[in-house]
Amino acid sequence: MKTLFDKIWDAHIVQQIEEGPTQLYIDRLYCHEVTSPQAFDGLRARGLKCFRPERIYCMPDHNTPTHDQDKPIEDPVSRAQVDALARNAQEFGLNHFGMMSPKNGIIHVVGPERGLTLPGMTIVCGDSHTSTHGAMGAVAFGIGTSEVEMVMASQCILQSRPKTMRITVDGKLGKGVTAKDIALYMMWKISTSGATGYFIEYAGEAIRSLTMDGRLTLCNLSIEMGARGGMIAPDETTFAYIKGREYAPKGEAWDKALAYWKTLKSDDDAVFDKEVRFDAADIQPMITYGTNPGMGMAVTDRIPTTDGMSETEKSSFEKSLAYMGFRAGEPLLGKPVDYVFLGACTNGRIEDFRAFTALVKGHRKAAGITAWLVPGSWAVNAQIREEGLDKVLREAGFEIRQPGCSACLAMNDDKIPAGKYAVSTSNRNFEGRQGPGARTLLASPLTAAAAAVTGVITDPRELL
């Protein structure tokens, strides 16, 4: 009578503190340059080493520029953080995939594609979107800097056990509907706090039909619903994706691992603390209009009005629309766009580039559009070129940048100017997230591609 979450969590309990937290063993710690410096300083101050350095993987991603990576980083703050990670990794004997390494990229893209993220693991990183790795059938969640230090020192962490929620999406997805649209639809329906305190398991026909890239996108956005993390039971799609990857088990170890992975599913009689169901037929291509990911709607809809809202809700809603320069009740279709961003740990994988390329093929980038197409890793970059996607994109007026977090957040050179509109495949649309005063509309790679070739917000189904 156990859920998938229960099986993995229980297998990693070192001890349960009475009326307190669980001491949980961690299989993999991922480190990037933003949240790790203080953790390393804490180890030094206490004269400690990393307990299991071979289980820690470091790489810069937030601060890396997406051009001229072979040259010193111009921004002094970004350069200092990237350099500090390299020094710390060397001093503590950790695996480090630095800039220009063929293994470098966004940490939440590299982990799965290298076979470092595997079913049944517990995985943490000082980054909220660590929930991405749950798509592989792992318990993965973001942690704070002091907790990063705790895991470095002991390979364990103290955590309160979250509640469990299952979100089932029945039926088949419609034309032009992607994993990103499923996530934005869920946030629209249950809000950005609807899963607070829960670990989500995604289930149902529509979820099983997703590729691994799609599942990674969906689990990435679990955190935007307030969840502690999200996960999908591993199946033949998962196993086929993992097999043969660099760090995946080989030979007899593969057979043994596979036998275990096949047990990683919720029992038929497992009870979740909360169950939610959606019908895939109700999901359309989505777009956000406000300043949190839950302020979304079908791309063909109109922005909601304040009817039925409390005074507090109304005040927040009107503030958000004022920032975005929109009015309640108006449609978004046909609204001019300035920037298009394809990338981030949400949509920087090869499937996202295939989708974007398929839609823009035979079209030209619209005049006045600045498009940043940023692979999530050097491996994705290489695959784009192997498949000839770069040639199709070049013919349509687009260029591929170098890997990194890029315009997802304003921590590198790729910032959206104040007042400009960006259709973005990233995960957050908070005020100033993509640059001071930037106006972000979250959407799928298909909806972003449609805006890139028309210059306005467009239903991608019209161009498919």
User: What percentage of the chain exceeds 70 in pLDDT?
Assistant: 100
Q: Which structure tokens are listed for 446?
A: 């298909």
**Predicted TM-score (pTM) above 0.95:** yes
Environment class of residue 362 by beta-carbon count within 10 Å: exposed (0-12), middle (13-18) or buried (19+)? exposed
pLDDT digits (tens, 9 = 90+) for 31-68: 999 999 999 999 999 999 999 999 999 999 999 999 99
Burial 395-412, CB ≥16 within 10 A → b, else e: ebbbebbbbbbbbbbebb
Assigned architecture for domain 286-462: 2-Layer Sandwich (3.30)
- Rounded distance between C-alpha atoms, residue 167 and residue 307, angstroms: 28
Query: CATH homologous superfamily for 1-284?
Result: Aconitase, domain 3 (3.30.499.10)
CA dist list (Å): 252 to 115, 257, 258, 259: 17, 9, 10, 11
DSSP H or E run through 24: strand 22-25
366 HSE (CA, 13 A, CB side): 18
Packing angle of the helix pair 179-190, 212-220 (nearest 10 deg): 30
Rounded-to-integer distance, Cα 324 and Cα 148, Å = 36
The ranges assigned to domains in the chain are 1-284, 286-462
CB 302 within 8 A of CB 330: yes
Spans of the chain below 50 pLDDT: none
Distance separating alpha carbons of residues 352 and 9, to the nearest angstrom: 32
Full strand arrangement of the beta sheet holding 439-442: 370-373, 339-342, 421-424, 439-442
Question: Residue 33's pLDDT is what?
Answer: 96
Q: Which residues contact 60 (CB under 8 A, 6 or more apart)?
A: 32, 33, 81, 82, 85, 86, 98, 99, 104
pLDDT, position 15: 97
As given in the structure block, the two tokens for residue 126 are 């000082």
Residue 369: what pLDDT? 98
Q: Which residue has the tokens 């039926």?
A: 171
Please list the residues that pair with 96 across neighbouring strands. Answer: 58
Burial of 145 (0-12, 13-18, 19+ CB in 10 A): middle
Helix or strand or coil: residue 308?
coil
324 membership: H or E segment, kind and range? helix 311-324
* Domain 1-284 matches domain 286-462 at the CATH topology level: yes
Rounded distance between C-alpha atoms, residue 37 and residue 146, angstroms: 11
**Predicted pLDDT at 110:** 98
With H, G, I as helix, E, B as strand and everything else as coil, classify residue 220.
Answer: helix
Residue 428 backbone dihedrals phi, psi, to 5 degrees = -135, 145
- Tell me the two tokens of residue 5: 């979450």
In a 13 Å sphere around the CA of 372, the CA atoms on its Cβ side amount to 29
List, in sequence order, every residue forming a beta bridge with 202; answer none if it has no partner. 167
Give the integer Cα–Cα distance in Å for 285 and 331: 14
Burial letters 97-128, b for 16+ CB under 10 A, else e: bbbeeebbbbbbbbbbbbbbbbbbbbbbbbbb
Residue 157: phi and psi, rounded to 5, are: -145, 150
Rounded Cα distance, 403 and 412, in Å: 12
